[in-house]
Chains A and B, each alone.
Chain A
C-alpha cells in the first residue's frame, strides 16, 4: 500500500513521509508536523483507531483513514475518534487526491468560518442568509432540515457519522435515534435531489453516515 501511495503521489505537489508502524507514525507525525495524515487501520503494532485518538490529542492535522470493506464499525470509531474522512480499499488515485484536497481545504479554514455560500449539484446554499436554492427556485426547509443541510455544507465533501450529525442537529440526547436522521435526510433529498431514489448530492455512506458531494 505504501509503495502504491509513493508511486501515486510521487508526481504531485505533496511530499511523502512514510512510517510502517504506529510507533514510527506517531514519531513522524510529531517530528515532521505534516499537513495531512493517511492512516491505515491495519497496523502491525497497534490499533489504528488509538493512533487517530493519540494524534488528535495534540494536533488538528487532518487524518484520512484507509480501511477495508466490512470494517464499518472501525471506520465509525476512527471518525468519532477524530479522523476527518475515510477511504475504502481498493480505491483509485483520483478519489484519494480529491479527498485529500477537501480535507486540506477544511483544515485551512477554521471551523464555523467556512465559505458562506455552497454551490454544487444544482443547488445553492447561502449560509449567511439561510437561503437554499434549487436552480433558480428557493426551497423552503424546516429549521431542522436546514440545520442538517448546513452541517453537511460546512463539511462539504467530508463524511459525517450519524453520531456527529445527530449531536449537531438534535443535540446530545438524540445521539442514538438514527431514524430521525434518516427521515430528515429523505425529506431533504425529496426537496433537493432530481431523483430522490438515486441521490447525486446527499450521499449515504452505508453503515457510517452521510456526505455532501462537493465536486
Chain B
C-alpha cells in the first residue's frame, strides 16, 4: 500500500500551526445565535467547574446585565477590577489587559469578544486583547454572537435589517481551539424575553422588537448552527489531512479578488472569502495602482486600505501591483500565479460609457482564457457616485500658445502653397500641424489645435472662401479625420507620458531604496545609522523619526534623540515597547493604538526584532497608500538589517575585547605571582639557611645572605607600593592635594630616595632659575619622578646619563626626563603607558609594567598630560606638563635686607 502523500505546503502549514499553538493559550468560544441564549451563563458554569478542579481562573470581564442567576455564578471567582478610561466626560469601564497579563492566571474569562474598546485603549477591539492574552500563554473563555462574524455580517443585516458594527474577523473564530454552541429554540428564547431575562443593549426598543421576530430568530439560529457545522466539517477535514486520509475533492484552486478603492469592494472581499471558504482554497486580494491612484480622495484611500486589511484578516494574501491597464495587470498576475478563478465587481459605469470605452469586466472576460471570472454585484449605494474620473493633469498655458503658433505656421504654409498645389495638400499641412501639437502637448491644446485648424481650413481655403459654410460634403470627412487623428495621437502621448511618469516613479523608489541601502552599508555604528535613516526619511517621506533599540539589559532606548521631540514621551515609548515585543506595526495610521502620535514600525532582523522605527509625518495618511506603506516598510527593513549588522559587529568586538582582557588578566596574574614569589623565595631561603645553619657559615656568607634578604625585601616593597598606587589611580581614590611649591623640592626628594638605584646613572638637573612655583601634590610628584628615573635606570645601559629639565610654557610648566638609552621601539610611544605593558624584550623580574601607568594617572589627576618621544641624538625623553591652574598664591612679603646682628653681643 502506498503512503498517502501530503504536499510540503500542507506539512509546513501544520508545523507552523503547531509551533504557534505550543506556548499559546487556548481559546474557547461560547457561540450563540443571538443575545439571551445563555452564552455567558454557560461560560461561567464551565469556569466554575474548572475552578473546582483547581485551575487558576480569573474573571477579566463579564457582563451580568443585572441578571441574578448569572451574578450568582460569579461568587467565589476572582474578578479583576476594570480599568477606567475617561473619554469626553464619560468614564468607560474596560477590561484591564495589563492587569490580566501581570496576574497571569491559567484562564481568563473575557465576555463579548466583538466588543470595541473605548478610545485610548491599546487595541481598538477586544479580540485583539484576547490575541495578546493567548500569545502570552493565557487561555481565554469568551462569548460571541453569530451576527458579529465579519463574513456573516451582510447576511445578518439582510435578514434582520439591522447593521451590526462590531465585528470580528472570521479567522479569529476559526482559530479558536474549541467552540461551544449555546442553543435555545426560538420559542424558549421568546419566553425568556417576555420574562425580561434577555438584555439587548445594542439597539433601541423598536429595533429590539424588529430583531426578536420569530422569523429572524430561526434564520439566525440556522446561521449559527451552520457555522458551527462548517467548523466541525473543517475539523474533520483537518483530521483527515493530519492522518494522511486521502481527500476526495480536487485541490489546486486559487482565487483572485480584484479590490478597488471604494467601499463597495468590501463586499467583493466578503464574497471572495465565502467562495474561498467553500472551495477551501487559497485566495488573493489584488489591487492595481494606476496613475489615478495618486489623485484619490482621502476617503477612497481609507476605503482601499480598509478593504485590503479586511482581506488580510480573512486570510487572503494581499498584493498591490502598479500598472496602467488594470485588466492586463490582473490577467498577467493570474497567469503567473496559476489563479483559477477571478472575482470582480459589476461595472459601475453607465452603460454607454462602458460601450464606448470598454469595461474592466469585458476585458477580463475576453482575456481570461480558461480562468473563470465571477462578476459580483457591487450593490449601488443610495449615495451618488462622488468621485469624478481621475482628471488628467491640466496642460500649462504655454502648450496652448504652442498650439496657436503651430496652427498659425500651418496656415501660413497653406496660404503659400495654396496657389500652386491642391487643397488636399493644405489639409495635409494642417493635419501635420495637428499631429505635431498632439504629440507634444496634452489633450486640451491638441483639441484646440484640431478645431482651430478645421475652422481656419474651412474659413480660408474651402469654398466658399471666408465663410464657414461647406460646399463640398467630402470636406466634412477631412474635418472628421483631422479631429480623430488629433485626439488619438494626444491620447497616445498622454498614455506614454503617464507610463513614463510611472516608470520614473518606480525608478525613483528603487533609486531611493538603493541610495539608502548604499548609505546604510557604509555605516559603522548606531549613530551613523540614525543619521542616514533620518536624512533619507526626511528626503523621501518629508517625515521625522526616532530610532529605538534595546540596551544591554533589553530596555528600549532612543538612539541619538532629537531634542524637544514631543513624540518622545512615556506613552509613545510604551507603544514602541509593545511594537518591539510583538513585532507588529502600531501607532497612528494603523489599527493598533491609533491614538499614538507616531507610527511605530518594528525593525526585524534575521534573529527577531532589533528595534523600533518611530515615524512622524505632518501627513501620516500618505502611508495608508499601499505603495507608500510598502516603501516605508522596505525602508524599515533596510534600517533593521543595518542595525542588526552593527549590533552583531559590536557584540563581536565586545567578545574580542573580553577575550583580550581575559588574556591580559591571566598574563598579569602569572607575572604578578612570579614577581611576588621570587623575592619571597629568596627571603625565605636565606632566612631559613641563616636560622638552621647560620653558625656553620663564614661571616662573609652570612652577610651575603642578609644582603640578598634586604635587596629582595626592597624589591617587594617597591612592587607592593606600585600596586597600591595603581589601585588608587584605578579606583579614582587618588586624592591630589596641590600646593604651590618649587619643582626643585620634588626632584630633590626623589633623587635622594633613589641614591642607590641611580648610582650607575649620573643625573643632572637643570631647572631655570625663573621657573615659577607649581601647584602640585609633593607626595604624588615624588612618585612620578621616582618611576621615571627608575624606568630610565632599568632600561638604559649603566653609565649613560639621565637629565631632568623644565621650562615654562603658556599656562603650565613642562618637565622633561631624558635618557641616552636604546630608545623605544617605534610605535610603542603610547602603548608604554598602558597597564602591565612591558617592553617586548624585557627580561622577567624587571617590574610588572605599572610605573608609567601610575605616572600617567598622577599627571592626569594634576590636569596635565604625559607622553614619550625619541630623543634627538638617541634615547628617549618623557615629557609631562603641570598646569598653573587655580588661584595663585599670595605674594611673599618682601623682607628688608638688613645685616644680621649677633643675638648676644
**Contact assessment for A128 and B748 in the assembled complex, using a CB-CB cutoff below 8 Å:** no
Question: A178-B739, A197-B751 are known contacts. Are A207 and B778 too (CB-CB below 8 A)?
Answer: yes
- Cβ–Cβ contact A127 & B903, under 8 A: yes
Q: Which of B752, B895, B901 contacts A198 (CB 8 A)?
A: B752
Is A183 an interface position by the 8 A CB rule?
yes
User: Which residues from B are CB-within-8-Å of A21?
Assistant: none
Residue of B nearest to A195 (CB): B765
Nearest Cβ on chain B to A96's Cβ, whole angstroms: 15
Q: Which residues of B contact A92 (CB under 8 A)?
A: 710
**What are 19 A-B contacts defined by CB distance under 8 Å?**
A72-B779, A129-B903, A130-B902, A131-B902, A143-B895, A143-B898, A146-B900, A177-B890, A178-B741, A179-B741, A182-B739, A182-B740, A182-B773, A183-B892, A189-B748, A198-B765, A204-B749, A206-B782, A207-B778
Cα-based distance from A162 to B713 in the complex (angstroms):
32
Binding site for A on B (CB under 8 A): 710, 713, 717, 721, 724, 737, 739-742, 744-749, 751-752, 763, 765, 767, 773, 777-779, 782, 889-890, 892, 895, 897-904
Total A-B contacts with CB atoms under 8 angstroms apart:
88
Q: In this assembly, does A196 line the interface, its C-beta being within 8 Å of a C-beta of chain B?
A: yes
Contacting pair B902 A180 (CB below 8 A):
no
Q: Which of A90, A143, A197 contacts B900 (CB 8 A)?
A: A143
In the bound complex, CA of A127 to CA of B903 (Å): 8
Residues of chain A lying within 8 A (CB to CB) of residue B890: 177
One digit per residue, 1 when the CB lies within 8 angstroms of any chain B CB and 0 when it does not, for chain A 108-137 equals: 000000000000000000011111000000
Dominant SS at the B interface?
mixed
Contacts of B763 in A (CB 8 A): 198
Cross-chain contact of B773 among A179, A196, A197 (Cβ < 8 A): A179
* Docked pose: A186 CA to B737 CA in angstroms: 21
Contact A90 B741 (CB under 8 A): no
CB distance from A76 to the nearest CB of B (A): 11
Asked if A180 and B892 sit within 8 Å, CB to CB, the answer is yes
Nearest CB on B from A174, distance (A): 9
Asked if A142 is an interface residue, CB under 8 A from chain B, the answer is yes
Q: Which of A70, A177, A183, A200 contacts B742 (CB 8 A)?
A: A183
Docked-complex contact A197 and B889, CB < 8 angstroms = no
Any chain B CB within 8 A of the CB of A214? no
Q: Is the CB of B779 within 8 A of A186?
A: no
How many whole Å from B904's CB to the nearest CB in chain A? 6
Decide yes or no: A141 and B900 within 8 Å by CB, A177-B889, A182-B742 being known contacts.
yes
A38 at the interface (CB under 8 A from B): no
Known A-B contacts A130-B900, A182-B773, A183-B742; A203 and B752 likewise in contact (beta carbons under 8 Å): yes
Residues of B close to A200: CB separation below 8 A: 752
Q: Is A140 an interface residue (CB 8 A)?
A: yes
Shortest B459–chain A CB gap in Å is: 113
User: In the docked arrangement, what's the CA distance between A176 and B721, Å?
Assistant: 30
Q: A92-B710, A178-B741, A198-B763 are in contact. List 19 more A-B contacts (CB 8 A).
A: A70-B779, A90-B717, A127-B903, A128-B903, A129-B903, A130-B900, A141-B900, A143-B900, A177-B890, A182-B742, A186-B742, A186-B744, A197-B744, A197-B748, A198-B748, A199-B752, A204-B749, A206-B746, A207-B779
Give bound CA distance, A177 to B739, whole Å. Answer: 9
Q: How far is the CA of A199 from the CA of B742 in the complex (A)?
A: 14
- Contacting residues, chain A, for B742 (C-beta < 8 A): 182-183, 186
A3: Cβ under 8 A from any B Cβ = no
* Contact surface of A with B, Cβ cutoff 8 Å: 69-70, 72, 90, 92, 127-131, 140-144, 146, 177-180, 182-183, 185-186, 189, 195-200, 203-204, 206-207
Given A72-B779, A204-B778, residue A186 in contact with residue B904 (CB < 8 A): no
Q: Which residues of the partner chain B approach A183 to less than 8 Å between Cβ atoms?
A: 742, 773, 892
- Residues of A within 8 Å of B751, CB to CB, are 197-198
Least Cβ–Cβ distance between B18 and chain A, in angstroms: 68
B residues within 8 A CB of A146?
900
Contacts of B899 in A (CB 8 A): 140
- In the complex, what's the smallest C-beta–C-beta distance from B678 to chain A, in angstroms? 18
**A130 partner residues in chain B, CB cutoff 8 A:** 900-903
Closest 7 pairs between A and B when the two form their complex, measured CB to CB: A197-B765, A207-B779, A182-B741, A179-B740, A206-B778, A179-B889, A206-B779
Distance, CA A47 to CA B904, complexed state (A): 45
Residues of A within 8 A of B892 (CB): 179-180, 183
Closest-by-CB residue of B relative to A182 is B741
Give the residue name and chain of the A residue nearest to B748 (CB): A199
Cβ contacts under 8 Å, A129 to chain B: 902-903
Bound state CA distance, A130 and B739, in angstroms?
32
For A178, the chain B residues whose CB sits under 8 A away are 739-741
Nearest residue (CB) in B for A142 is B895
List residues of chain B with CB within 8 A of the CB of A127: 903
Smallest CB separation, A173 vs chain B (Å): 11
Contacts of A69 in B (CB 8 A): 721
A196 vs B897: C-alpha distance in the bound complex, in angstroms? 22
B744 touching A179 by the CB < 8 A rule? no
Hey, which chain A residues are within 8 Å of B748, CB to CB?
Answer: 189, 196-199, 204
B375 CB to nearest A CB, Å? 96
Residues of B within 8 A of A195 (CB): 765
Q: Which residues of A contact B895 (CB under 8 A)?
A: 142-144
The distance in angstroms between the C-alpha atoms of A127 and B902, with both chains bound, is 9
Task: Flag if A70 contacts B782 (CB, 8 Å).
Answer: no
Nearest residue (CB) in A for B747 is A197
B203–chain A nearest beta-carbon distance, Å: 87
Within 8 Å by CB of A142, from B717, B737, B897, lies B897
Chain B residue with the shortest CB-CB distance to A90: B717
Query: What A residues does B765 contact at CB under 8 A?
Result: 195, 197-198
Q: Closest approach, in angstroms, between the C-beta of B694 and any C-beta of chain A? A: 14
- Taken together as a complex, chains A and B put the C-alpha atoms of A103 and B755 apart, in Å, by 26
Look across to chain A and name the residue whose beta carbon is closest to the beta carbon of B735. A73
